[in-house]
Amino acid sequence: MTTKIKNYKEVKNLLSKGITNSKTAKNNLETYILYLAPHKQNSKKINLCAKASKGCAVACLYSAGRGRFSNVKNSRINKAEYYISDKIKFINQLSNELIKIANRSLKQNKKIAIRLNGTSDLDFIALIKKYNNLDLLNGQQFKNLVFYDYTAILGKIKKYINTNYKLTLSRKEDNESEILETLKIGGNVAAVFRDDLPKKYKGYKVINGDTSDLEMIYNSNVILGLRAKGDAKKDKTGFVLNSYNLN
């Protein structure tokens, strides 16, 4: 019998406390985030951000804030390797962590925010239901958990619109029609701006998405304006909006 060689080290916790991120630290709800290495930054080159464009990949917040440090990057790569190598074990651990947080939220009678894709774009809600038969969005056990994420996948926006999973479509240099469709059905769109935020974009109100990571759960059918950070400041693909391309 061949022994399977692990490409990762065991981790105590998959979910990180939101206070470790400068933006989520501003949240008025206790927050937990799952960070994986994005797109193909793993040994098997499996894409964990299926709809990442060239500009999206270059400007990814993976390089911003604490993501600049090698120990943080290595931790996220390790978790990505864990997910790819032992998906069921990974999902089981993630489910158990969410159950503990959910039980505490009920005991303390408070809402807790959960972002399962800090630097990835996977459907963990569906994966947890598939492998552990847990209904995170409708089960009474999880009623105090508020799930939210950015995504580049229009199908996820449509799938979870008007549920307890608040998704915001990320504007890229190549998804104009998807932006318009998301806004048409009442969803939010996040857009990255190089300079000051405009009052409107595509005819929709722009709010400051950097004020808190939870602006998307408190606002509907708006543009979440984000200022370029990390490698996004060097963008030349059109992912970052300049004052001359705000139509």
Domain total of the chain: 1
pLDDT tens figures, 164-187: 999 999 999 999 999 999 999 999
Please name every residue paired with 15 in a beta bridge, in sequence order, or none if there are none.
34
Domain assignment present for 246 = no
Q: Around 213, how many Cα atoms within 13 Å sit in the side-chain half-sphere? A: 26
Task: Give me the pLDDT at residue 84, please.
Answer: 94
Cβ neighbours of residue 41 closer than 8 Å, sequence gap 6 or more: 62, 77, 80
Cβ neighbours of residue 208 closer than 8 Å, sequence gap 6 or more: 197, 215, 225
Residue 54 has pLDDT above 70, yes or no: no
202-214: burial string, b at 16+ Cβ within 10 Å, e else:
eeeebbebbebbb
Task: Give me the pLDDT at residue 58, please.
Answer: 64
Confidence of residue 67 (pLDDT cuts 50, 70, 90): very low
Task: Give me the pLDDT at residue 80, please.
Answer: 94
β 200-201/188-193 pair status: unpaired
Task: Give me the pLDDT at residue 18, please.
Answer: 85
Task: Give me the pLDDT at residue 7, please.
Answer: 82
SS3 for 95-163 is HHHHHHHHHHHHHHCCCEEEECCCCCCCCHHHHHHHHHCCCCCCCHHHCCEEEEEEECCHHHHHHHCCC
Task: Give me the pLDDT at residue 68, please.
Answer: 53
- Pick the range with the lowest mean pLDDT from 19-23, 25-29, 31-35, 148-152: 19-23
Structural domain containing residue 172: 15-241
128, 134 Cβ separation under 8 angstroms: yes
Residue 42 has pLDDT above 90, yes or no: no
Domain assignment present for 233 = yes
Domain assignment present for 8 = no
The pLDDT of 186-207, averaged and rounded, is 94
Confidence of residue 26 (pLDDT cuts 50, 70, 90): confident
Domain assignment present for 95 = yes
Task: Give me the pLDDT at residue 5, please.
Answer: 60
Domain assignment present for 2 = no
- How far apart are alpha carbons 134 and 233 in whole angstroms? 40
- How far apart are alpha carbons 112 and 207 in whole angstroms? 23
- How far apart are alpha carbons 168 and 185 in whole angstroms? 12
The pLDDT of 62-84, averaged and rounded, is 76
The pLDDT of 217-221, averaged and rounded, is 95
Domain assignment present for 171 = yes
- How far apart are alpha carbons 114 and 149 in whole angstroms? 9
139, 102 Cβ separation under 8 angstroms: no
Residue 64 has pLDDT above 60, yes or no: no
**Percent of the chain having pLDDT more than 90?**
67
Task: Give me the pLDDT at residue 12, please.
Answer: 95
Cβ neighbours of residue 70 closer than 8 Å, sequence gap 6 or more: none
pLDDT tens figures, 105-140: 999 999 999 999 999 999 999 999 999 999 999 989
Residue 1 has pLDDT above 50, yes or no: no
Helical packing angle, 124-132 and 87-108, nearest 10°: 100
Domain assignment present for 86 = yes
The pLDDT of 206-232, averaged and rounded, is 91
Tokens matching residue 95: 């489910």
Residue 2 has pLDDT above 50, yes or no: no
Domain assignment present for 133 = yes
Summary mean pLDDT of the chain: 88
